[in-house]
């Protein structure tokens, strides 16, 4: 028999995720967030809707959350953050998503823009943006994708030309979530032509209300307006709004993606629909078959949550577990979609967008119309699977 090739419990093998034990403080925090969510539910702002991190836009809610210290909470206190770790942040955001709370206004600022400005920004940028982000008063979009740059993001064609005191940006960003309601976008643009297309890219903080920015709506198949094409028609961006080093854009973007890919939003988008199903099943005793299907979904949710927490713990410990993050995103977002189909088969219900808002047929319709996006946003699952196998082969 060949010697065992089982890797020792090396924490960063793509299969062996670190164990997580949330501190006692997290338990208290969770209870506080639940109490807050209950209050908000009573006000009518928490509607238990699927995909609330894309569709639930409510700046007032974001601000009240920020008052509790729960926006930008992993940012240092000197910049207005709460100076708490990724695990505390994890508890807050998973509670909000499970409840279907309207978090989309601050989602990108909290998840990406904040950490990214903290890591790469100038002192001036930190002092300006971070306190505003943590106060829920400054909302960001992500300007990465373009018409011809999706999976091959390094092929971006938006250009930034040098001017006397800054840069002039020209090009069109696509699928820019929230650009019509947010304040800024972090835009990836080409600053130099280079042999290697990963070189010569840089990131800029672009004021979405600056002159030369034209935001054109793109409607989802549900009719909702969440996305836009953002035309940058010679937008002047001052020197001080270059984010990080010129030419480091690719490295910065890929670093950000680890934060983007592994959080609870990658498996909880359709969780509120499962809650709704259980509410329906409380009206009539569940059959053995229904129980079995609910149990199988629950086991998978439970297991994926552990993986996702493992990535949060690794981030907290200062690692950058990109392979694991890709793995969580693929597993989690496939579950989000499968959950919709399974719920439909557990309790056959025609999806109906015109049914009473919040009723099971209406939530089903909403989740279904959003479902193709789960495995696309943040990098398609096909691309992520390439990262996963490479990660294991190199291990």
Partner 1 sequence: MNTHTVDTGTPFIPADAYDTAAFYAEADAIAIVTNATAPDAVALPSEDASTAELLAAAREAGHRAVPAPLAETALVARPLLRCVGLPVPDGPLSYAIAPELTIRYAHPAASAVGSAGSSGDDDTLLVTGTLRRVPWARSATAVVVLATAPFGPVLFTLTPDQAVLTPGGNLAEEPRDDLYLATLEIPASRVRRISPELLDEARLRAALARSALIAGAAERCVDLTVAHTTARTQFGRPLSHFQAVKQEEARLIEETALVRTAVQAAAPLDFGGPAAHVAIAAAKTQASASAAEIARIAHQLHGAIGITQLSPLHLATTRLWSWRDEDGDETYWARRLARPLTAAALWPTLTTTP
Ligand X SMILES: Cc1cc2nc3c(=O)[nH]c(=O)nc-3n(C[C@H](O)[C@H](O)[C@H](O)COP(=O)(O)OP(=O)(O)OC[C@H]3O[C@@H](n4cnc5c(N)ncnc54)[C@H](O)[C@@H]3O)c2cc1C
Contacts with ligand X, residue ranges (CB under 6 A): 54, 141-145, 150-151, 175-177, 373, 376-377, 379-380, 382-383
Stretch that binds partner 1, among 103-111, 157-165, 215-223, 326-334 (CB under 8 A): 326-334
Report the C-alpha gap between 279 and 200 in whole angstroms: 53
Q: Which of 3, 223, 318, 348 binds partner 1 (CB under 8 A)?
A: 3
331 in contact with partner 1 (CB under 8 A)? yes
Contact 158, 190 (CB under 8 A): yes
CB of 47 to ligand X, least distance (A): 19
Check: CB of residue 320 under 8 Å from CB of residue 255.
yes
| Range list of H helices, the chain | 24-43, 52-55, 59-67, 86-99, 104-108, 114-120, 123-134, 249-261, 271-281, 288-316, 322-346, 360-374, 381-394
Indicate which of ligand X, partner 1, none lies near residue 338 (CB less than 5 to 8 Å, by partner kind). Answer: none
Residue 275 interacts with partner 1 (CB under 8 A)? Answer: yes
- 149 secondary structure, DSSP code: B
Torsional class of 281: left (φ above 0), alpha (ψ -120 to 50), beta (otherwise): alpha
Nearer Cβ to ligand X (21/221):
221
205 binds, among ligand X, partner 1, none (CB under 5 to 8 A by kind): none
Q: Which two tokens stand for residue 159?
A: 């250009």
Mark the segment that binds partner 1 (CB under 8 A) among 39-47, 91-99, 191-199, 349-357: 91-99
Asked if 194 and 203 touch (Cβ cutoff 8 Å), the reply is no
* Residue 274 interacting with partner 1 (CB under 8 A): yes
151 binds, among ligand X, partner 1, none (CB under 5 to 8 A by kind): ligand X
Which range of residues in 15-23, 156-164, 198-206, 221-229 is near partner 1 by CB under 8 A? 15-23
- Comparing CB distances to ligand X, the nearer of 205 and 313 is 205
Cβ atoms of 370 and 226 within 8 Å: the answer is no
Length of the chain: 395
As a whole number of angstroms, the distance between CA 368 and CA 269 comes to: 11
Closest distance to ligand X from the beta carbon of 270 (Å): 13
Selection from 353, 307, 373 nearest residue 51 by Cα? 373
Report how far apart the first and last C-alpha atoms of the chain are (Å, whole number).
23
* Residue 145 binds which of ligand X, partner 1, none (CB < 5-8 A, kind-dependent): ligand X
Here's the x/- map for partner 1, 281-320, by CB under 8 A: it reads as -x---x-x--xxxxxx-xxxxxxxxxx-xx----------
| Closer to partner 1 by Cβ: residue 19 or 239 | 19
DSSP state of 48: -
CB of 246 or CB of 380, closer to ligand X = 380
Which residues 6+ apart lie within 8 Å of 251 measured at CB?
none
- Point out which residues bind partner 1 (CB under 8 A): 1-6, 9, 14-17, 19-22, 30, 94, 98-99, 271, 274-276, 278-279, 282, 286, 288, 291-296, 298-307, 309-310, 324, 327, 330-331, 382, 384-386, 388-389, 392-393
């Amino acid at each position: 028999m060949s010697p065992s090739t089982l890797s020792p419990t090396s924490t960063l093998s793509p299969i062996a995720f670190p164990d997580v034990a949330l501190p006692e403080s997290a338990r208290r925090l969770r209870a506080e967030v639940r109490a807050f969510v209950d209050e908000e539910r009573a006000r009518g702002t928490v509607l238990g809707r699927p995909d609330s991190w894309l569709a639930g836009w409510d700046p007032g809610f974001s601000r009240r959350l920020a008052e509790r210290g729960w926006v930008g909470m992993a940012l240092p206190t000197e910049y207005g953050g709460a100076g708490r770790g990724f695990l505390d942040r994890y508890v807050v955001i998973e509670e909000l998503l499970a409840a279907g709370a309207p978090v989309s206004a601050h989602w990108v600022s909290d998840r990406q823009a904040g950490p990214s400005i903290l890591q790469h920004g100038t002192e001036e940028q930190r002092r300006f943006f971070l306190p505003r982000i943590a106060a829920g008063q400054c909302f960001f979009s992500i300007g990465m994708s373009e018409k011809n740059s999706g999976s091959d993001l390094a092929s971006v064609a938006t250009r930034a030309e040098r001017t006397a005191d800054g840069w002039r940006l020209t090009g069109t960003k696509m699928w820019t979530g929230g650009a019509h309601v947010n304040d800024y976008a972090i835009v990836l643009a080409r600053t130099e032509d280079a042999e290697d297309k990963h070189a010569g890219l840089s990131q800029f903080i672009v004021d979405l209300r600056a002159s030369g920015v034209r935001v054109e709506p793109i409607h989802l198949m549900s009719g909702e307006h969440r996305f836009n094409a953002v035309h940058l028609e010679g937008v002047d961006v001052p020197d001080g709004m270059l984010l990080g080093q010129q030419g480091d854009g690719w490295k910065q973007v890929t670093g950000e993606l680890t934060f983007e890919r592994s959080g609870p939003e990658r498996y909880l988008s359709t969780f509120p629909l499962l809650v709704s199903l259980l509410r329906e099943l409380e009206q009539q005793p569940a059959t053995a078959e229904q129980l079995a299907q609910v149990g199988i979904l629950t086991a998978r949710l439970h297991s994926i949550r552990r993986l996702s927490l493992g990535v949060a713990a690794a981030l907290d410990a200062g690692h950058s577990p990109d392979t694991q993050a890709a793995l969580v995103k693929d597993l989690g977002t496939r579950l989000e979609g499968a959950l919709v189909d399974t719920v439909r088969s557990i309790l056959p219900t025609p999806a109906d967008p015109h049914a009473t808002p919040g009723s099971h047929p209406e939530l089903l319709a909403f989740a279904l119309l959003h479902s193709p996006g789960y495995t696309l946003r943040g990098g398609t699952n096909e691309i992520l699977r390439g990262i996963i196998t490479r990660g294991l082969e190199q291990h």
